[in-house]
């Protein structure tokens, strides 16, 4: 596993408290597989490690993006919040086995919050044909947490990826433009998934990423509907 320093190149706020952070590694280009993560060392009297999934596609330039929500009191995110452009962080990686299978199966993606990070890496590195007929269900509490709409809209138009923001604590506001309304639903991920997909196709693959509670709940639900364990891939935090 590589150990290196990475320099903060940019910070883009994409929704309330959520940022895309861009870094450049001091070792130049390095290989990672979409879905993997890096391990950041948070300095202090007792240094701690925090894992963050790559939110970008692999490239030959040595830069990568992380999708981070600033959590009050969170050791890792509070540290990242204090970084200035040009500051360096200690990084190890890549690591992880949550990767996209190379086959012709339809893929159903279910993410909550920043659990979208590895999905984004999948999407940005996939060929147009590989995403055709695939569906993303992205769970969040309110519309203020939704983000990256233009990017997802382009993936929908150019590559055939369907997507739905699943708002668990808010009815749909009237401010959503009519041509985008189809991408917003009220309810938890599993409720929206059932309304869109109906009876699950046992040939589909499922990719889950989010909080431990949500991921385990979705795995249990899929198992109860006779989805084969070999078709369920997940990462939880």
Segment (H or E) for 153: helix 149-159
The pLDDT of 110-132, averaged and rounded, is 92
What pairs with residue 206 in β-bridges?
Answer: 108, 232
Alpha carbon distance 143, 172 (integer Å): 8
Could you give the residue range(s) of every CATH 2.40.30.10 domain in the chain?
2-95
What does pTM read for this prediction? 0.94
Find the range with the poorest average confidence among 74-78, 108-112, 147-151.
Answer: 74-78
Could you give the residue range(s) of every CATH 3.40.50.80 domain in the chain?
107-236
Q: Per the omega criterion (within 30 degrees of 0), is the bond before 94 cis? A: yes
**Topology of the domain comprising 2-95:** Elongation Factor Tu (Ef-tu); domain 3 (2.40.30)
Alpha carbon distance 45, 47 (integer Å): 6
What pairs with residue 11 in β-bridges?
Answer: 21
Write the CATH number of the domain with boundaries 107-236.
Answer: 3.40.50.80
Q: Is the dihedral of CA 229, 38, 153, 14 positive or negative?
A: positive
- Confidence class of residue 149 from pLDDT cuts 50, 70 and 90? very high
| CB-based contact 121:55 (threshold 8 Å) | yes
Alpha carbon distance 11, 66 (integer Å): 10
- Confidence class of residue 38 from pLDDT cuts 50, 70 and 90? very high
């Amino acid at each position: 596993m590589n150990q290196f320093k990475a320099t903060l190149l940019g910070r883009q706020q994409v929704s309330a408290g959520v940022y895309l952070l861009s870094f450049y590694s001091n070792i130049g280009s390095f290989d990672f597989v979409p879905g993997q993560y890096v391990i950041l060392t948070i300095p202090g009297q007792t240094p701690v490690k925090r894992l963050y999934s790559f939110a970008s596609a692999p490239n030959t330039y040595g830069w990568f993006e992380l999708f981070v929500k600033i959590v009050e009191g969170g050791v890792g995110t509070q540290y990242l919040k204090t970084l200035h452009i040009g500051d360096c962080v200690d990084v190890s990686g890549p690591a992880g086995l949550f990767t996209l299978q190379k086959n012709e199966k339809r893929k159903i993606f279910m993410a909550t919050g920043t659990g979208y990070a590895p999905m984004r890496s999948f999407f940005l590195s996939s060929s147009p044909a590989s995403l055709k007929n695939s569906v993303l269900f992205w769970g969040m509490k309110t519309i203020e947490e939704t983000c990256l709409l233009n990017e997802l809209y382009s993936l929908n138009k150019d590559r055939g990826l369907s997507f739905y923001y699943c708002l668990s604590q808010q009815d749909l506001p009237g401010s959503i433009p009519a041509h985008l309304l189809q991408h917003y639903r009220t309810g938890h991920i599993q409720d929206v998934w059932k309304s869109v997909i109906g009876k699950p196709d046992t040939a589909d693959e499922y990719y889950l990423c989010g909080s431990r509670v949500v991921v385990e709940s979705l795995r249990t639900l899929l198992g109860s509907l006779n989805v084969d364990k070999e078709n369920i891939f997940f990462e939880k935090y």
